[in-house]
Structure 1
Amino acid sequence: MDWGSTPHSSTMYIWHLEGLKKMDLRLRAFLAPLLFCLGFIPLWGIDIQALVQEQVKSAGLADQLVSVTNQMLEGAIDTGKNYQQVKQLDKLYQETKNLKAILNPNKGASKPTGLGAVFKKAIEPPVDLDKALNLTNALQKEVKNANQDGLDYSKILSVLNQLENSLQTALDLKSQWLDTRKAN
């Protein structure tokens, strides 16, 4: 049957258009609140994005700290500092490497792609911000109490202070993010 050749085809066409308009109104009524809510999803991600950025900043500062302590250790060896100072700097260097490992738990691991990357990300160990902050505070105390005879620890202290601030900010963001996710 050819719809265009029957006398009722224009009536069927009008009914079809009216049906589409009604469906369009119902679809708009359904989609409007949904799209409104979906529009706020990027705003929900701001806190977690800031947290991730602060963790990345902390990891970069840990890398910088390892580099600075390594340079100090090499300088102390090259200038013939006494055994206790070299031993103290070596201990500090090892502890900064441990701190770096806490803030970069998956550094050096092979990076899978595709679906493997999603699963790897899901099972990765999380960054332990509390442990990193405790170790940073312990390192600060150790540096302040160190035998500074002829050694300048100001660069290490500067990086440690920046790292402490970054970790504290990350912990605050994590706390805020978790508080917004709690059920009422």
Structure 2
Amino acid sequence: MTKNRVIIYEESGADPRADVLAVGNHHGRTRVRALAEPAQLEPLVAELVGEGVDRIELCGAFGAVWHARARRAASGRAEVGAIYYGFESLTGVASYKQRFEAGEVLSEAFLIVHEGADPGKDRVVRERDGGGRTTLVAVPDETSAAEVAARLAAELQLIELYGGPGPESAAPVIEAVDAAVPVGVTAWAAAFPAGRGRG
């Protein structure tokens, strides 16, 4: 079981040393950090691993190149995963990216599975100056994640699910929003050492 986890995403003007959301109980600790720019990722990962963080998850906006860099920065001392999107969400996430780059006002939610979390209390809403918001909600399990996703879906253009073991944890959330919102899920590359491929 993960004892000490950090989720990282990008937000204009953010302080990478400040926790945006923190959930802690006897199951472990989950924190969310925001970076002002991707160049801050590798130093932050190295710092977090040095502090004893054993699992890091990256927002889908970082992509595979930054995922690989973060894994190298972790030097095998922590698992590093990143949000990716399944085929059912590709059209929606491509639309989100295009609209974001065009400056549209958009809102997204990060649903974070942390056993024992209370979604009514373990929640932060980050309003952006130009409009739109990022809602972070810690949930105790995938069933609760699906319930929260269903309630929020009408207000969102994107959902990312953190803390699950893989696609089986995302399925209830994807089904709950009925493909109306793209849903990303953390993918792990622990099967391959950092910096190495299959062959």
- Band the TM-score falls in, shorter-chain normalisation: under 0.3
Name the one with the larger strand percent: 2
TM-score, length basis structure 1: 0.22
The structure showing larger relative contact order (alpha-carbon pairs under 8 Å, at least 6 residues apart) is 1
Name the one with the larger helix percent: 1
TM-score, length basis structure 2: 0.21
